Structure formats: structure tokens, C-alpha cells
Amino acid sequence: MSEKPIEELTYEEAFAELEMIVNALEAEQHSLEEAMALFERGQALSKRCADLLDQAELKVRRLSGEAFSAEEE
């Protein structure tokens, strides 16, 4: 797992780490404490990915809106 703070991860980094956590939880035996720590980090990574996708969608909408407005002029 990455030691980088979640809020500094790119979408690709966060998604890759999330995949590793899911695989680890599915394939390996962990103590309850370890499993909970992995689950919590996974939840935070999932939120980071969703937030980054939302930001990208807003940017695309803004850019599309600007392009649409320019075409009307």
C-alpha cells in the first residue's frame, strides 16, 4: 500500500491501490484489526476516486458548455 496521503493520489494511483486492497481482503486471512484498517483505507480510496471523477465531469461540462457557447456566436 501507498504511504502517500490519499488526497495527494491521482485517480489511477487510488484505483490501483483500491484494487490491491480488494484482492488482499478476498484472498488473504487478516486479523480483524488489519481487515478493518484495509476496509477503512479502501473506503477513503473509493471516495477519492469518486471525487476525482466528479471533478473531471464538471470540467468536461464546463469545457463543453464553452465550446457550445462559442459555436452559437
pLDDT tens readout for residues 36-56: 999 999 999 999 999 999 999
pTM equals 0.80
Every domain of the chain and the residues it spans: 10-72
Q: Which fold has domain 10-72?
A: Helix Hairpins (1.10.287)
R_g of the chain computed on alpha carbons: 18
Q: Please, are residues 48 and 37 in contact by the beta-carbon 8 Å criterion?
A: no
Whole-number pLDDT of residue 63: 87
Grid cell, residue 39, equals: 476496509
